[in-house]
Structure 1
Amino acid sequence: MFVRKALRGDLPEIIQVINDAKRLIKGTGSPQWQDGQPSREVLEEDLDIGRGYVLIVNCKVVGYTALMQTNDPHYDVIQDGSWKNTTDKYATLHRVSIADGYRGKHLSDFMISNLFTIGYELGFRNFRIDTHAMNKGMQHISLKFGFKYRGIIYVGPKEDDRRLAYELNM
Protein backbone atom coordinates (compact mmCIF):
# COMPACT_ATOMS: atom_id res chain seq x y z
CA MET A 1 0.00 0.00 0.00
CA PHE A 2 1.42 3.36 -1.00
CA VAL A 3 0.64 6.81 -2.43
CA ARG A 4 2.16 8.10 -5.63
CA LYS A 5 1.64 10.82 -8.21
CA ALA A 6 -1.20 9.94 -10.54
CA LEU A 7 -0.33 9.08 -14.13
CA ARG A 8 -2.37 9.64 -17.28
CA GLY A 9 -2.89 5.87 -17.52
CA ASP A 10 -4.60 5.93 -14.10
CA LEU A 11 -7.44 8.12 -15.40
CA PRO A 12 -10.05 5.36 -15.95
CA GLU A 13 -9.50 4.05 -12.41
CA ILE A 14 -9.51 7.57 -10.96
CA ILE A 15 -12.83 8.27 -12.68
CA GLN A 16 -14.24 5.07 -11.17
CA VAL A 17 -13.05 6.08 -7.68
CA ILE A 18 -14.61 9.55 -8.12
CA ASN A 19 -17.88 8.04 -9.39
CA ASP A 20 -17.97 5.72 -6.37
CA ALA A 21 -17.55 8.76 -4.12
CA LYS A 22 -20.26 10.66 -5.98
CA ARG A 23 -22.71 7.79 -5.36
CA LEU A 24 -21.73 7.69 -1.68
CA ILE A 25 -22.27 11.43 -1.28
CA LYS A 26 -25.56 11.28 -3.18
CA GLY A 27 -26.73 8.56 -0.78
CA THR A 28 -26.35 10.99 2.13
CA GLY A 29 -28.67 13.48 0.44
CA SER A 30 -25.87 15.97 -0.16
CA PRO A 31 -25.82 17.99 -3.38
CA GLN A 32 -22.00 18.04 -3.31
CA TRP A 33 -20.50 16.54 -6.50
CA GLN A 34 -23.94 15.96 -8.01
CA ASP A 35 -23.52 18.63 -10.71
CA GLY A 36 -20.97 16.73 -12.80
CA GLN A 37 -17.97 17.95 -10.81
CA PRO A 38 -15.30 16.87 -10.48
CA SER A 39 -15.43 16.30 -14.23
CA ARG A 40 -13.09 14.31 -16.44
CA GLU A 41 -11.61 17.65 -17.58
CA VAL A 42 -10.84 18.67 -13.98
CA LEU A 43 -9.19 15.31 -13.34
CA GLU A 44 -7.17 15.59 -16.57
CA GLU A 45 -6.03 19.05 -15.45
CA ASP A 46 -4.97 17.57 -12.09
CA LEU A 47 -2.83 15.04 -13.95
CA ASP A 48 -1.41 17.58 -16.41
CA ILE A 49 -0.40 19.95 -13.60
CA GLY A 50 0.91 17.13 -11.41
CA ARG A 51 -1.37 17.67 -8.44
CA GLY A 52 -3.20 14.32 -8.59
CA TYR A 53 -2.20 11.51 -6.24
CA VAL A 54 -3.45 7.94 -6.06
CA LEU A 55 -3.60 5.43 -3.27
CA ILE A 56 -2.49 2.00 -4.47
CA VAL A 57 -3.51 -1.19 -2.67
CA ASN A 58 -2.43 -4.53 -4.14
CA CYS A 59 -1.48 -2.84 -7.44
CA LYS A 60 -4.95 -1.23 -7.77
CA VAL A 61 -5.94 2.45 -7.64
CA VAL A 62 -8.37 2.67 -4.72
CA GLY A 63 -8.05 6.31 -3.68
CA TYR A 64 -7.56 9.72 -5.23
CA THR A 65 -6.78 13.21 -3.95
CA ALA A 66 -5.57 16.42 -5.54
CA LEU A 67 -2.89 18.30 -3.61
CA MET A 68 -3.24 21.86 -4.87
CA GLN A 69 0.04 23.71 -4.35
CA THR A 70 -1.12 27.15 -5.43
CA ASN A 71 -3.56 29.43 -3.65
CA ASP A 72 -7.16 28.42 -4.22
CA PRO A 73 -9.14 31.49 -5.36
CA HIS A 74 -12.26 30.13 -3.62
CA TYR A 75 -10.43 30.65 -0.33
CA ASP A 76 -9.77 34.35 -0.92
CA VAL A 77 -13.08 35.29 0.73
CA ILE A 78 -14.07 33.56 3.95
CA GLN A 79 -17.28 34.40 5.80
CA ASP A 80 -18.25 33.94 9.44
CA GLY A 81 -14.63 33.41 10.42
CA SER A 82 -11.07 33.91 9.24
CA TRP A 83 -7.92 32.02 8.33
CA LYS A 84 -5.37 31.80 11.12
CA ASN A 85 -2.39 32.05 8.76
CA THR A 86 -2.81 34.47 5.87
CA THR A 87 0.87 35.14 5.13
CA ASP A 88 2.49 31.74 4.47
CA LYS A 89 1.79 29.57 1.45
CA TYR A 90 -0.69 26.72 1.88
CA ALA A 91 -1.60 23.51 0.09
CA THR A 92 -5.18 22.38 -0.33
CA LEU A 93 -6.55 18.85 -0.35
CA HIS A 94 -9.34 18.42 -2.90
CA ARG A 95 -11.33 15.47 -4.23
CA VAL A 96 -10.50 13.10 -1.36
CA SER A 97 -12.03 9.80 -2.51
CA ILE A 98 -11.87 6.10 -1.69
CA ALA A 99 -13.32 3.38 -3.95
CA ASP A 100 -16.30 1.22 -3.07
CA GLY A 101 -15.22 -1.87 -1.20
CA TYR A 102 -12.27 -0.08 0.42
CA ARG A 103 -14.07 2.26 2.79
CA GLY A 104 -14.08 1.61 6.52
CA LYS A 105 -10.47 0.43 6.47
CA HIS A 106 -8.97 3.83 7.43
CA LEU A 107 -7.35 4.12 4.01
CA SER A 108 -8.20 7.82 3.82
CA ASP A 109 -6.09 8.24 6.98
CA PHE A 110 -3.14 6.57 5.26
CA MET A 111 -3.63 8.60 2.06
CA ILE A 112 -3.98 11.97 3.81
CA SER A 113 -1.03 11.27 6.11
CA ASN A 114 1.12 10.54 3.06
CA LEU A 115 -0.08 13.73 1.37
CA PHE A 116 0.94 15.72 4.45
CA THR A 117 4.39 14.17 4.16
CA ILE A 118 4.56 15.08 0.48
CA GLY A 119 3.31 18.61 1.19
CA TYR A 120 5.75 19.02 4.06
CA GLU A 121 8.65 17.93 1.82
CA LEU A 122 7.47 20.55 -0.70
CA GLY A 123 7.76 23.22 2.01
CA PHE A 124 4.14 23.55 3.10
CA ARG A 125 3.33 23.98 6.78
CA ASN A 126 -0.24 25.09 6.23
CA PHE A 127 -3.00 22.98 4.72
CA ARG A 128 -6.61 23.77 3.90
CA ILE A 129 -9.63 21.66 3.06
CA ASP A 130 -13.33 22.27 2.57
CA THR A 131 -16.49 20.21 2.40
CA HIS A 132 -20.26 20.51 2.21
CA ALA A 133 -22.14 20.80 5.50
CA MET A 134 -23.87 17.47 4.75
CA ASN A 135 -20.57 15.62 4.20
CA LYS A 136 -20.15 14.41 7.77
CA GLY A 137 -17.49 11.87 6.78
CA MET A 138 -15.10 14.51 5.44
CA GLN A 139 -15.80 16.75 8.42
CA HIS A 140 -14.89 13.86 10.75
CA ILE A 141 -11.67 13.13 8.86
CA SER A 142 -10.70 16.81 8.85
CA LEU A 143 -11.16 17.21 12.60
CA LYS A 144 -9.43 13.88 13.29
CA PHE A 145 -6.31 15.18 11.52
CA GLY A 146 -6.32 18.37 13.57
CA PHE A 147 -7.85 20.74 11.03
CA LYS A 148 -9.67 23.63 12.69
CA TYR A 149 -12.94 24.99 11.37
CA ARG A 150 -12.34 28.53 10.10
CA GLY A 151 -15.57 29.66 8.39
CA ILE A 152 -17.56 29.48 5.16
CA ILE A 153 -16.29 29.69 1.60
CA TYR A 154 -18.14 29.39 -1.70
CA VAL A 155 -16.94 27.30 -4.64
CA GLY A 156 -19.59 28.77 -6.94
CA PRO A 157 -22.51 31.20 -7.01
CA LYS A 158 -25.30 28.92 -5.69
CA GLU A 159 -26.23 28.26 -2.07
CA ASP A 160 -25.31 24.58 -2.65
CA ASP A 161 -21.76 25.83 -3.37
CA ARG A 162 -21.36 26.80 0.29
CA ARG A 163 -18.54 24.89 2.01
CA LEU A 164 -17.20 24.54 5.53
CA ALA A 165 -13.55 25.59 5.43
CA TYR A 166 -10.81 24.09 7.61
CA GLU A 167 -7.14 24.87 8.17
CA LEU A 168 -4.22 22.94 9.64
CA ASN A 169 -1.10 24.84 10.70
CA MET A 170 2.02 22.78 11.41
Structure 2
Amino acid sequence: MFNVFVRKAQSDDLEQIIKVINDAKSLIKGTGSPQWQDGEPSRAVLEEDLRVGRGYVLMVNGDLVGYTCLMQTDDPHYEVIQDGSWNNTTDKYATLHRVAIGDGYRGKHLSDFLMSNMFTIGYGLGFRNFRIDTHEMNKGMQHVSEKLGFKYRGIIYVGPKEDDRRVAYELNM
Protein backbone atom coordinates (compact mmCIF):
# COMPACT_ATOMS: atom_id res chain seq x y z
CA MET A 1 0.00 0.00 0.00
CA PHE A 2 1.17 3.49 -0.86
CA ASN A 3 0.75 5.72 2.22
CA VAL A 4 1.34 9.41 1.46
CA PHE A 5 0.49 12.40 3.64
CA VAL A 6 1.68 15.84 4.77
CA ARG A 7 2.11 16.83 8.39
CA LYS A 8 3.57 19.67 10.38
CA ALA A 9 7.32 19.23 10.84
CA GLN A 10 8.63 18.44 14.30
CA SER A 11 11.98 19.23 15.86
CA ASP A 12 13.10 15.59 15.66
CA ASP A 13 12.60 15.74 11.86
CA LEU A 14 15.41 18.28 11.45
CA GLU A 15 18.21 15.93 10.35
CA GLN A 16 16.02 14.27 7.74
CA ILE A 17 14.78 17.67 6.53
CA ILE A 18 18.40 18.78 6.12
CA LYS A 19 19.08 15.64 4.07
CA VAL A 20 16.10 16.38 1.78
CA ILE A 21 17.25 20.02 1.40
CA ASN A 22 20.81 18.88 0.62
CA ASP A 23 19.48 16.44 -1.99
CA ALA A 24 17.61 19.34 -3.61
CA LYS A 25 20.70 21.56 -3.45
CA SER A 26 22.64 18.90 -5.37
CA LEU A 27 19.89 18.61 -7.98
CA ILE A 28 19.77 22.39 -8.46
CA LYS A 29 23.57 22.59 -8.66
CA GLY A 30 23.49 20.01 -11.45
CA THR A 31 21.34 22.35 -13.55
CA GLY A 32 23.95 25.11 -13.28
CA SER A 33 21.68 27.30 -11.18
CA PRO A 34 23.22 29.32 -8.33
CA GLN A 35 20.00 28.96 -6.30
CA TRP A 36 20.62 27.39 -2.88
CA GLN A 37 24.37 27.17 -3.54
CA ASP A 38 25.31 29.81 -0.96
CA GLY A 39 24.45 27.78 2.13
CA GLU A 40 20.78 28.73 2.17
CA PRO A 41 18.46 27.43 3.29
CA SER A 42 20.67 26.98 6.31
CA ARG A 43 20.18 24.84 9.39
CA ALA A 44 19.29 28.02 11.31
CA VAL A 45 16.55 28.89 8.78
CA LEU A 46 15.11 25.38 9.02
CA GLU A 47 15.28 25.48 12.83
CA GLU A 48 13.38 28.78 12.73
CA ASP A 49 10.73 27.21 10.45
CA LEU A 50 10.23 24.47 13.04
CA ARG A 51 10.30 26.85 16.00
CA VAL A 52 7.53 29.06 14.59
CA GLY A 53 5.52 26.15 13.16
CA ARG A 54 5.72 26.91 9.44
CA GLY A 55 7.57 23.77 8.31
CA TYR A 56 5.73 20.81 6.76
CA VAL A 57 6.98 17.40 5.70
CA LEU A 58 5.84 14.93 3.08
CA MET A 59 5.73 11.36 4.33
CA VAL A 60 5.72 8.31 2.02
CA ASN A 61 5.35 4.88 3.59
CA GLY A 62 6.76 6.19 6.86
CA ASP A 63 9.74 7.97 5.27
CA LEU A 64 10.22 11.74 5.33
CA VAL A 65 10.80 12.53 1.64
CA GLY A 66 9.79 16.17 1.18
CA TYR A 67 9.76 19.54 2.89
CA THR A 68 8.29 22.97 2.48
CA CYS A 69 7.60 26.09 4.50
CA LEU A 70 4.21 27.81 4.52
CA MET A 71 4.97 31.40 5.47
CA GLN A 72 1.80 33.07 6.75
CA THR A 73 3.19 36.57 7.07
CA ASP A 74 4.03 39.03 4.31
CA ASP A 75 7.35 38.33 2.66
CA PRO A 76 9.42 41.56 2.54
CA HIS A 77 11.03 40.40 -0.73
CA TYR A 78 7.61 40.62 -2.38
CA GLU A 79 7.07 44.32 -1.59
CA VAL A 80 8.79 45.35 -4.84
CA ILE A 81 7.98 43.47 -8.03
CA GLN A 82 9.50 44.42 -11.36
CA ASP A 83 8.33 43.78 -14.93
CA GLY A 84 4.84 42.93 -13.70
CA SER A 85 2.53 43.19 -10.72
CA TRP A 86 0.69 41.09 -8.20
CA ASN A 87 -2.89 40.32 -9.15
CA ASN A 88 -4.20 40.53 -5.58
CA THR A 89 -2.66 43.20 -3.37
CA THR A 90 -5.49 43.56 -0.85
CA ASP A 91 -5.99 40.08 0.64
CA LYS A 92 -3.48 38.35 2.89
CA TYR A 93 -1.28 35.78 1.17
CA ALA A 94 0.72 32.72 2.15
CA THR A 95 4.08 31.94 0.57
CA LEU A 96 5.53 28.53 -0.19
CA HIS A 97 9.29 28.45 0.35
CA ARG A 98 11.92 25.73 0.39
CA VAL A 99 9.96 23.17 -1.65
CA ALA A 100 12.15 20.07 -1.82
CA ILE A 101 11.79 16.37 -2.60
CA GLY A 102 14.53 13.93 -1.61
CA ASP A 103 16.61 11.73 -3.89
CA GLY A 104 14.83 8.60 -5.03
CA TYR A 105 11.40 10.21 -4.88
CA ARG A 106 11.52 12.64 -7.79
CA GLY A 107 9.54 11.95 -10.94
CA LYS A 108 6.61 10.55 -8.97
CA HIS A 109 4.62 13.84 -8.93
CA LEU A 110 5.12 14.12 -5.18
CA SER A 111 5.82 17.86 -5.38
CA ASP A 112 2.30 18.23 -6.84
CA PHE A 113 0.93 16.29 -3.89
CA LEU A 114 2.98 18.29 -1.38
CA MET A 115 1.94 21.63 -2.80
CA SER A 116 -1.74 20.75 -3.26
CA ASN A 117 -1.84 19.67 0.36
CA MET A 118 -0.27 22.98 1.33
CA PHE A 119 -3.10 24.74 -0.51
CA THR A 120 -5.57 22.72 1.57
CA ILE A 121 -3.77 23.65 4.79
CA GLY A 122 -3.49 27.30 3.74
CA TYR A 123 -7.13 27.41 2.68
CA GLY A 124 -8.12 26.05 6.09
CA LEU A 125 -6.11 28.88 7.65
CA GLY A 126 -8.09 31.43 5.62
CA PHE A 127 -5.70 32.05 2.72
CA ARG A 128 -7.04 32.37 -0.82
CA ASN A 129 -3.90 33.97 -2.22
CA PHE A 130 -0.62 32.03 -2.53
CA ARG A 131 2.79 33.15 -3.79
CA ILE A 132 5.98 31.37 -4.73
CA ASP A 133 9.29 32.31 -6.37
CA THR A 134 12.24 30.51 -7.86
CA HIS A 135 15.42 31.18 -9.78
CA GLU A 136 15.05 31.70 -13.54
CA MET A 137 17.19 28.60 -14.12
CA ASN A 138 14.99 26.39 -11.92
CA LYS A 139 12.76 25.14 -14.74
CA GLY A 140 11.49 22.22 -12.66
CA MET A 141 9.97 24.47 -9.99
CA GLN A 142 8.57 26.77 -12.64
CA HIS A 143 6.91 23.81 -14.37
CA VAL A 144 5.39 22.51 -11.13
CA SER A 145 4.13 25.98 -10.19
CA GLU A 146 2.52 26.60 -13.57
CA LYS A 147 1.01 23.10 -13.67
CA LEU A 148 -0.67 23.77 -10.32
CA GLY A 149 -2.21 27.02 -11.57
CA PHE A 150 0.28 29.65 -10.45
CA LYS A 151 0.55 32.60 -12.83
CA TYR A 152 3.80 34.41 -13.56
CA ARG A 153 3.64 37.93 -12.08
CA GLY A 154 7.12 39.44 -12.47
CA ILE A 155 10.60 39.59 -10.97
CA ILE A 156 11.53 39.96 -7.32
CA TYR A 157 14.92 40.02 -5.59
CA VAL A 158 15.76 38.04 -2.46
CA GLY A 159 19.06 39.89 -2.02
CA PRO A 160 21.26 42.55 -3.59
CA LYS A 161 23.08 40.44 -6.21
CA GLU A 162 21.91 39.61 -9.73
CA ASP A 163 21.88 35.92 -8.70
CA ASP A 164 19.21 36.92 -6.16
CA ARG A 165 16.77 37.58 -9.02
CA ARG A 166 13.67 35.34 -8.86
CA VAL A 167 10.63 34.76 -11.04
CA ALA A 168 7.53 35.30 -8.94
CA TYR A 169 4.19 33.52 -9.23
CA GLU A 170 0.77 33.92 -7.65
CA LEU A 171 -2.26 31.65 -7.30
CA ASN A 172 -5.62 33.16 -6.41
CA MET A 173 -8.43 30.85 -5.30
Q: Same fold (TM over 0.5)?
A: yes
> Please, which runs of 5 or more residues in structure 2 have no aligned partner?
none
Residue 32 of structure 2 is aligned to residue 29 of structure 1? yes
Q: Which residue of 1 aligns with 2:91?
A: 88
Task: Give, in angstroms, the shift of residue 114 of structure 1.
Answer: 0.5
Moved over 4 A (4+): none
C-alpha RMSD of the superposition: 0.3
Task: Give, in angstroms, the shift of residue 58 of structure 1.
Answer: 1.1
Q: Which residue of 1 aligns with 2:146?
A: 143
The one-character-per-residue Cα deviations of 1:5-47 (angstroms, maximum 9, x if unpaired) are 0000000000000000000000000000000000000000000
Please point out which of 88, 106, 109 is paired with 1:103.
106
Q: Which residue of 2 aligns with 1:48?
A: 51
Residues in 2 aligned to 1:24 and 1:94: alpha-carbon distance in whole angstroms:
17
Q: Which residue of 1 aligns with 2:126?
A: 123
Q: Which residue of 1 aligns with 2:16?
A: 13
> Please, which runs of 5 or more residues in structure 1 have no aligned partner?
none
> Could you tell me the TM-score, scaled by structure 2's length?
0.98
Task: Give, in angstroms, the shift of residue 144 of structure 1.
Answer: 0.3
Q: Which residue of 2 aligns with 1:159?
A: 162
Amino acid at match of 1:137: G
> Could you tell me the TM-score, scaled by structure 1's length?
1.00
The one-character-per-residue Cα deviations of 1:138-170 (angstroms, maximum 9, x if unpaired) are 000010011000000000000000000000000
Residues in 1 aligned to 2:169 and 2:53: alpha-carbon distance in whole angstroms:
23
Q: Which residue of 1 aligns with 2:71?
A: 68
The one-character-per-residue Cα deviations of 1:57-111 (angstroms, maximum 9, x if unpaired) are 1111100000000000000000010001000000000000000000000011111
Query: Kindly, what percent of the aligned residue pairs are identical?
Result: 82
